[in-house]
Amino acid sequence: MALPIDLLLVRHGQSEGNVARRRSEAGDHSAFTDAFRDRHSASFRLTELGRMQAEQAGAWLRKEFWPGPGFDRYVTSEYTRAMETAALLNLPNAEWLCDFYLTERDWGEMDICSEKEREEKFGDAIRRRKIEPFFWRPSNGESFKQSCLFADRVLDTLHRECSDKRMIIVCHGEVIRAFQVKIEHMSQVRFKELIFSQQPEDRIWNCQIVHYTRRNPENGKLAPYAGWVRMIRPTENPVWITEWRAIKRPRYSNQDLLNVVSRIPNMIE
């Protein structure tokens, strides 16, 4: 079985947690009150801007996929900000399923704390993350590798039930990254480049859409796998949208593997 003909991954709109984090990175830690901390990040709501972003994303989706059949399956993370985004997309006749495998990666003790606290309490851990972000795990949290395992569970279901369908999923930034890693067979080297990149095009912005398809954009023929991907940011004016990119899944010769390994210096001979 194959993946859906079209699979759209939508990041939720700007949330309370996003705003608190951005302010804290700029030196304003006032959002991290006792009341704000006394929650789980699953309960973060969208901000006014986040609600507007969801409506803008919905407008683009309705223009792109309607009139027509729309989507065959609608799935959302069970976190509040994702469900709120899904509803505000206002997609015609949508019947949403909630899937806890789509919830955001758990950052454990580092989840709801200011940047100042992160540096004071977890500075060494943060520096270790910069060395190896794929396998690194925050204290009492989940590694990115674990997020990929959860994505695998969802992909298994899609292979079984949705290979002839169009599907939309509303979830979170790191969940979308996990799908990218699995669908594109992305290397850990490329993953590290992307998450530490300072280039705007490498980020997954609020309400950004990642669209995978099995339909060849040039001739309309179906491939047995998701062969092409494009990115859309409906919140920008004009809408930012990339050309379709053919997915090239990496394969390595013996020498290729040795070339990768050679980037790591020997510490003990």
User: What percent of the chain lies above the pLDDT cut of 90?
Assistant: 96
The contacts of residue 189 (CB under 8 Å, 6+ apart) are 260
Domain membership flag for residue 29: yes
- At residue 21, the pLDDT reads 94
- At residue 201, the pLDDT reads 94
Domain membership flag for residue 101: yes
Domain membership flag for residue 205: yes
CA 87/CA 109 separation, integer angstroms = 30
Classify burial at 100, counting beta carbons within 10 Å of its beta carbon; exposed 0-12, middle 13-18, buried 19 or more.
Answer: exposed
Q: Could you report how far apart the first and last alpha carbons of the chain are, in Å?
A: 47
Structural tokens at position 80:
């509040």
Q: For position 172, which CATH number holds?
A: 3.40.50.1240
pLDDT at residue 1 tops 80: no
Contact between 150 and 101 under an 8 Å Cβ cutoff? The reply is yes
CA 264/CA 39 separation, integer angstroms = 42
181-240 pLDDT per residue, tens: 999 999 998 999 999 999 999 999 999 999 999 999 999 999 999 999 999 999 999 999
Domain membership flag for residue 268: no
Domain membership flag for residue 266: no
Domain membership flag for residue 12: yes
Contact between 3 and 155 under an 8 Å Cβ cutoff? The reply is yes
Domain membership flag for residue 267: no
Give the confidence band of 269 by pLDDT, cuts at 50, 70, 90. confident
130-179 pLDDT per residue, tens: 999 999 999 999 999 999 999 999 999 999 999 999 999 999 999 999 99
Give the confidence band of 69 by pLDDT, cuts at 50, 70, 90. confident
- At residue 267, the pLDDT reads 92
Indicate the pTM of the whole model: 0.95
Contact between 81 and 114 under an 8 Å Cβ cutoff? The reply is no
DSSP letter at 254? H
Instruction: Give the structural domain span for 100.
Output: 6-261
Domain membership flag for residue 269: no
Three-class secondary structure of residue 37 per DSSP: helix
Render the burial of 163-177: b for 16+ CB within 10 Å, e for the rest. eebbbbbbbbbbbbb
Number of domains the chain is built from: 1
